[in-house]
Amino acid sequence: MARVASNPVGLHRFRPCFQVAQLQQHARTSLHFRNEHRRFRTVSCQQTPDPTETSTTEKSIVEPGSGNDSSSQATSSSRDSGPPEFPNKNTNKQVALVSTLAALALFLSGRLDFGVSLKDLSVAALPYEEALSNGKPTVVEFYADWCEVCKELAPDVYKVEQQYKGRVNFVMLNVDNTKWEQELDEFGVEGIPHFAFLDKKGNEEGNVVGRLPEKYLLENVDALARGEASIPHARVVGQFSSAEARKVHQVADPRSHG
C-alpha cells in the first residue's frame, strides 16, 4: 500500500498519454465517418440537401435554373392560356351573313352572264331591215332554238352586245324561218351559229362559224366599231350544228326577224 501511494507521478503521467491517444483515435474515426458520409451524399440523391454543402455534384443539379425556369414558364403560360376559345353566336351570325351574300352574288352573276337565252337575244335584237338602213356596222347571227352551240355562246354574244351597244347593230335571224331563205343563200349559211360582219354600207367583211373563243367575236366587232377596212378573223370555222337539220316553219308575222 505504501508503494502505490509513493508513486503518484507514474499514474499521473500515464493518464494523459491514454487520453491523447484516445482523442486521436476518436478524431480519426469521426473524420473518416464524416468523409464517408460526405462521399455518400455526393453520390446519392438527397431529398433534403444541406445548404452548407457546395460540392460539384450538388451544383450541377441545382444551378441549371434556365431550363427549369423556361419549363416552369411554359407550364404557367399553358395554364394561363387555358382552352381554345370557340366562336360565339355573333361570329356565327357574321359568317352566315357573309356566306349568304356570297351565294347571292354568285347567283346574280350566273343570271347575268350565263342565264341569257337565245330568246332574250332575239327579243333585244334589231330588225334586219332597220339595221341595214341606220348607217352603222352590223353583226348578223343565224341561229336556231335547237342549236346547242348557239345556246352555249349566248352569254358571250350578250357581253359583246352590251359592250358595243349603240355603236354596232346586232341582228338575230332564225334559220327555221322561211322568210330568211334568201339571206341563207346570200351569206352561204351551212352551219350555225353563223356570224356575218357587215360594214356601214351592208357589205360583208367576213364571217365566223361555230364554237370559238369569245375573243374572235370581240375583236371582229371592235374592228367594225372603229371603222377598220377589214376584220382580224374573216374566215374562221369551229364546231357547229348543221343547217340542214333546221326545222322549217312559217311564222305568223312576216315582219318578224326571229
To the nearest 10°, report the CA torsion of 212, 216, 221, 222. Answer: 150
The Cα 154–Cα 141 span in angstroms is 11
The active-site residue, picked from 132, 147, 149, 212, is 147
The Cα 13–Cα 163 span in angstroms is 135
Question: How many Å is the maximal CA-CA distance in the chain?
Answer: 176
The Cα 162–Cα 229 span in angstroms is 23
The Cα 95–Cα 62 span in angstroms is 53
The residues facing 107 across adjacent strands are none
The Cα 211–Cα 221 span in angstroms is 16
Question: Residue holding cell 484516445?
Answer: 22
The active-site residue, picked from 131, 132, 144, 150, is 150
Residue 150 a catalytic site member? yes
3-state secondary structure 83-130: CCCCCCHHHHHHHHHHHHHHHHHHHHHHHHHCCCCHHHHHHHCCCHHH
Which triple of cell numbers denotes residue 137?
A: 356596222
Question: Residue holding cell 507521478?
Answer: 9
Residue 45 a catalytic site member? no
Catalytic residues: 147, 150
